[in-house]
Each structure stands twice: as C-alpha cells, then as structure tokens.
Structure 1
Amino acid sequence: MAFSEDLLEHGRHVWEAQFEHPFVVELAEGTLDDDAFEYWVKQDYRYLLDYARLFAIAGSKARDEETMTHLLGVAHQVLDHELDLHREFAADYGISTDELERVEKAPTCVAYTSFLVRTAYEGSIAEIAAALYPCMQGYLDVAERMTELADGEHEFTPFIETYTGDEFREATAWCRTFVDRCGERYPGEHDAMREAFLTSAKLEYRFWEMAYTQEGWGL
C-alpha cells in the first residue's frame, strides 16, 4: 500500500465527518448562508498566506532540485493565482482586498496556520509533506462529494469547479506522489507523518465548522 493510502485509511473517519458537515452539504446544494461563505472566504484568505509560507519553507528544505523547484512554484502559485480567486469571490460580496488583509484570524484559523508554520520550521520534509496533504487531497475529495450532492448550477458552483478542475487535480496528484516518496525514503518517520497528517485533517474539519458557526473570540 502506498503511504498516502495508509494516511487516508488513518483519516477515514475525518473524511466521512467532512463529507457530512452541513457547510459542505449546504454549499453543494446551493443553500449555504451567504454570511457563512463570506466568512470562509475571509478566513481562507488569511490561511492561504501561511499555506504559501509552508510550501516556501518546505522548498528550502528539499534535497533535490525538482522537489525544491516544485514546492517553491506552488508557493508562488498560491500567492499569484489562488489568492486571486479568493479576491474574486470576495468582490462578489463587496469585500475589498484591503478588507481581506485586515481580517482577524478566528481561533481555529490561528490554530491551523500556527501548526503548519511550526511544522514547516521544526519538522522534517516528510512531516511537512504529511501536514500539507489533507488540504490538497481533502479539498479534492470534498469537492467531488459536493459534485455528487449538487443538483444543477448555483452561486457556489465556481467553488466546486475550482477544486475539481484539472489544475487542482494535477497539484493533488503531485502532492500524493510527494507523500509516497517521503514515506519510502523515511520509514522511520511514519509515525510522525501520521500524527502530522491527522492533526491537519482534524483542523480541516474544524475549519468547515469554524466557517459554518462564524466562530469568534467571544470578547
């Protein structure tokens, strides 16, 4: 079994919980409250800035040129392309780029990005690969689940199409290969990789919950 499949087996319960989460189901059906989606756009924008940092730091730790080039390229793509998509989503709701940049991270967003950045700085390249995998494979799998649930086009269709499109599928396939390669090269780090993977996967689930409840600090 490829190590990426091993990780997915360990995270199967988290995947099932994501598939059933009301944010996911209602977005797929087109019935999600606009305020919840707007909240997700704002928080995910802040998340992606640190996600790009994760790839950039991972690139600096890579030992071969191909991996370094790809990881640094993904960091640039997130900053140059995926954030643009969020700005477009935000513009549809009358949210300016300046407003996006001033958004305060919610507790879950702080927890997730702090975990990723700490893993990037303190973890091995294998742990980093496992930590970033749930965001790639998880979003593809959740978006495919949304495709199954969707009944015709609606305002959230562009979200589903973005994360089931060829470009994101190719990015996810590379990430899966990266995880498998790390699993083969560093068998002594399998437990650490599983821990990093499951932590990220659980935080992915909590991110949906954070957006659905529009989590705040209570202060």
Structure 2
Amino acid sequence: MTFFDELKTVNAQSWERYCDHEFTRGLADGTLPLAAFQKYLVQDFLFLIDFARAYALSIYKSHSLEEMRKGLEGVKAILDVEINLHLRLCERWGLTEKDIENAPHELATLSYTQYVLETGNRGDLLDLKIALAPCVIGYGEIAANLAKVPGALDNSNPYAEWIKEYSSPEYQEHMHGAIAELEGLAQRYLTDNRRERAHKIFKTATDLEANFWQMGLEG
C-alpha cells in the first residue's frame, strides 16, 4: 500500500463523497446542467491561479533540485495545460480570459485555496503536497473512471473534452508522478507522530474538493 492508498483508506468516506459525486456522475452521462458546469469552470479557473501559486510555494519549500523541478512541472502543467482547457471551453460561451479573471470568488473557492496555501506556509513540503493531492491526483482518478462509462467520451456528451483531458495518457502520467513523489516525501519526512496530522490534512482538502463540486451544483 502506498502512502496515497493509506490516505484514501483512512478517509474512505470523504474520498467516495468526492469521487462519486452527483456532479461527476453528471459529467459522465452528460446530464449535469450546463449552468452548473459553467459556474464550476469559472471558479476552477480562479482556483487554478492560486493552485499555481501553491506549486510555486513548493519550490520554495523544496530541499533539492529534484523537488524544485517537480514543483516547476506542476506550475507549468497548470499554466500551460489546465488553464488553456478552461479558456477553450469558456470561449464557447463568449467569456474572455479577462471576464473570467474578474469574476468574483465563491466562498468554496476561497476556502479551498486559502487552506492549501496556509497549510503549505505553516508546514513543510509533505504537508503541502498532501493538501494538493486530492486535486492533482483525484482529478486523474475520477476522469479515468468516468472515461469507462459508456458514452462518456462521445462527441454528443458536452463534457467529453473535460473527461478526455484528465484521462489522457499525459495527465495520467502526471498523476502517477504525483503519487510517486508523495510516496518519496512520506518516506523521508513522515513520522508516527505526524501521521494523524497528515490524515487530517488530506481529509480536509478532500472535503473541500467535494464542496467545490457542490458549489457548482448549487449555482
């Protein structure tokens, strides 16, 4: 069992609520209301900006060039890949990059981004990467499962592009790299005394991710 498997097992209820949410099921079968997805997408764009800052913080928290390079890879993946996906989808509804950047932050967005950044500022690189894990690893796991749903990747599904992006070989490689990095950090820095803290960080971040889906639905 990897450290990431341990985190999921200890927090199985929170992880299931996040991965098997009404929002994600609606992505797979195309029944998610478009307004819910649009609200989520704009808020996720704002979230990703702070997520990139969190990866930049991971460079500062790093103790080796290898760790710094992994932090840089995370920044580039967000700014060069994920942000572009959001912009492409938003452009279809006439929303420009400036429109999205100037959109007000929902409380669910602020709560999540502030938690990740504060966790990283207070703790070390392991704490920060645990707080990042539900997003960077969870999206890959969720999309891989959604891609197996019959019709999920069909052109008739308005959310097929989102699923394809996060289930793509490129993102799956990025996801497995994050799992491996988390494992390496745990081997170096995790002690029995801080294991409970690690579990709590993961649970809080996972619950905030589930709240993010719910925010989209309630919109």
Asked whether the 8 Å contact 2:42–2:100 carries over to 1, the reply is yes
Deviation at 1:9, TM superposition (A): 0.6
Deviation at 1:184, TM superposition (A): 1.0
SS at match of 2:105: coil
The residue that corresponds to 1:171 in the other structure is: 174
Asked whether the 8 Å contact 2:19–2:142 carries over to 1, the reply is yes
Could you tell which deviates more after superposition, 64-73 or 200-209?
Answer: 64-73
Deviation at 1:127, TM superposition (A): 0.4
The residue that corresponds to 2:184 in the other structure is: 181
Asked whether the 8 Å contact 1:21–1:208 carries over to 2, the reply is yes
- The amino acid of 1:185's aligned partner reads R
TM superposition outliers: structure 1 runs of 4+ over 3 Å: none
Asked whether the 8 Å contact 1:2–1:180 carries over to 2, the reply is yes
Unpaired stretches in structure 1, ≥5 consecutive residues: 215-219
Work out the CA distance in 2 between the residues paired with 1:99 and 1:44.
14
Unpaired stretches in structure 2, ≥5 consecutive residues: none
Could you tell which deviates more after superposition, 80-89 or 36-45?
Answer: 80-89
Asked whether the 8 Å contact 2:18–2:206 carries over to 1, the reply is no
Q: Aligned-residue CA RMSD in angstroms?
A: 1.4
Question: TM-score, normalised to structure 1's length?
Answer: 0.93
Could you tell which deviates more after superposition, 66-75 or 183-192?
Answer: 183-192
2:67 maps to 1:84: no
The residue that corresponds to 1:217 in the other structure is: none
The residue that corresponds to 1:40 in the other structure is: 40
Q: Deviations over 1:101-124 (max 9, x none)?
A: 111111111100000111122111
Asked whether the 8 Å contact 2:58–2:71 carries over to 1, the reply is yes
Could you tell which deviates more after superposition, 82-91 or 191-200?
Answer: 191-200
Q: Deviations over 1:136-185 (max 9, x none)?
A: 22112221232233425111100000110111111111111111112111
Asked whether the 8 Å contact 2:19–2:138 carries over to 1, the reply is no
Task: Trace 1:59-70 onto structure 2 (pairs within 5 A).
Answer: 59-70=59-70
Asked whether the 8 Å contact 1:55–1:74 carries over to 2, the reply is yes
Work out the CA distance in 2 between the residues paired with 1:150 and 1:33.
19
Task: Trace 1:95-134 onto structure 2 (pairs within 5 A).
Answer: 95-134=95-134
Asked whether the 8 Å contact 1:25–1:149 carries over to 2, the reply is no
SS at match of 1:149: coil
How many residue pairs get aligned? The number is 214
Deviation at 1:133, TM superposition (A): 0.8
Per the alignment, do residues 207 and 66 of structure 1 end up closer, same or farther by CA in structure 2, a change over 3 Å counting?
Answer: same
- The amino acid of 1:8's aligned partner reads K
- The amino acid of 2:202's aligned partner reads F
Q: Identity of aligned pairs, percent?
A: 26
Question: TM-score, normalised to structure 2's length?
Answer: 0.93
Could you tell which deviates more after superposition, 149-158 or 81-90?
Answer: 149-158
2:205 maps to 1:200: yes
Work out the CA distance in 1 between the residues paired with 2:206 and 2:43.
17
2:217 maps to 1:212: yes
Work out the CA distance in 1 between the residues paired with 2:17 and 2:51.
23
The residue that corresponds to 1:161 in the other structure is: 164
Deviation at 1:203, TM superposition (A): 0.7
Deviation at 1:202, TM superposition (A): 0.7
